[in-house]
Structure 1
């Protein structure tokens, strides 16, 4: 698990800590987290939005206006919208996905949770995620927030990362191990 000092060592981490501190002072940690989750989904699902935040040619004022309009249309809270404006003014919108990950880690640490990144070949249902979180809680001894990702390349099974620990029970890894064993 990353520590707060480890998070602050990166540029995106410093932005995340600043946002976290502002959200904590405004008593809106979960509201900001919800807005960031929406932005995270938009980055993952929309090539246009991903292109917007990664555009090196968009002027600062244009980037600020555009990201504010997008955030408003998504129903993003005012603090997160202002924060996006700061990222745009500082030409750091490309750091948004890393800032979101760092914020999620800070929030999990604040709540005393562990954060697990779970990769599966197919989308997990809410029931499966809940059962997995319960199993992981028994293993790590505290609540676990599950961040589910889909990667068809693993073919089946799961890859679970909690901090620096990784449990790889994917079919791809098993097939690779079998291929290595057959080579001698």
Structure 2
């Protein structure tokens, strides 16, 4: 997103935070309703364009959204959507992207309220690793000919009782309604949103052997000092790194593995 859409999304996130600060608001229910509105506007392109038409008055668009959603969703969800359509969006699709993000944030807020946000972060990361190491599973989850119900049933057999309900809802929505994203990109985006709930960054740490608790704490402290923000460490063990450690934060890679040093030496010799 850029320009007006970025500002509109920031305002919507503030309204969501203010709304979910009220503990009487059911964040999980809010997430489900926002996801339903996302699916509606993703399907109905003409409606989406009307609700983001800059030539139309914001109040008129809010009234239209209210008539469409009245009785279908809670008052909190209807008010949140009305506020979003009053805003100006650079592209009509940006509104749908924003609604999807708010649905995910509402589920993460539910996890945070129940003090299981760290667990959800770890479960999202572990699921991403499982998918990465199981090509047949990935193929089944991304098969365009498979129905959403079939994919949901498969995910239920994999996650139900083994992952938090919020993590399961997030993964099911991503898989059944990817909206053009790859499974890997969607899971990474969810991990970043989860870390952002506590103003943290995500560091993907790969080592040849598991780190001890002391090593994790030291690494987290070093990275926090280096980047000026707290870090959530997603830990992966890969014997191929041959010792040392590789850290990826966003697009930046800090590679101190023996394998990388050997590869660098080979490159220099070849040069």
Question: 2:21 aligned with 1:21, yes or no?
Answer: no
Matched residue count: 173
Aligned-pair RMSD on alpha carbons? 3.5
C-alpha separation in 1, matches of 2:226 and 2:104? 28
C-alpha separation in 2, matches of 1:16 and 1:32? 19
Is contact 2:174-2:186 (8 Å) kept? Answer: no
Deviation at 1:96, TM superposition (A): 4.5
TM-score (norm 2): 0.50
Using CA pairs under 8 Å that are at least 6 residues apart, name the structure with larger relative contact order, 1 or 2.
Answer: 1
C-alpha separation in 2, matches of 1:87 and 1:176? 37
Of 244, 254, 258, 1:157 maps to 244
Of 119, 128, 132, 2:206 maps to 119
Deviation at 1:172, TM superposition (A): 1.7
Deviates more, 1:167-176 or 1:94-103: 94-103
After TM superposition, list the pairs within 5 Å mapping 1:96-135 onto structure 2. 96-135=183-222
C-alpha separation in 1, matches of 2:171 and 2:254? 35
Deviation at 1:105, TM superposition (A): 1.0
Structure 1's unaligned 5+ residue stretches are none
Q: Secondary structure at the match of 1:114?
A: strand
C-alpha separation in 2, matches of 1:74 and 1:15? 28
Match of 1:41 in 2: 126
Is contact 1:114-1:145 (8 Å) kept? Answer: yes
Deviation at 1:40, TM superposition (A): 4.1
Structure 2's unaligned 5+ residue stretches are 1-5, 10-92
C-alpha separation in 2, matches of 1:182 and 1:89? 49
1:125-178 Cα offsets, whole Å, 9 max, x none, are 332212110121222222111112223222221122223432221212221222
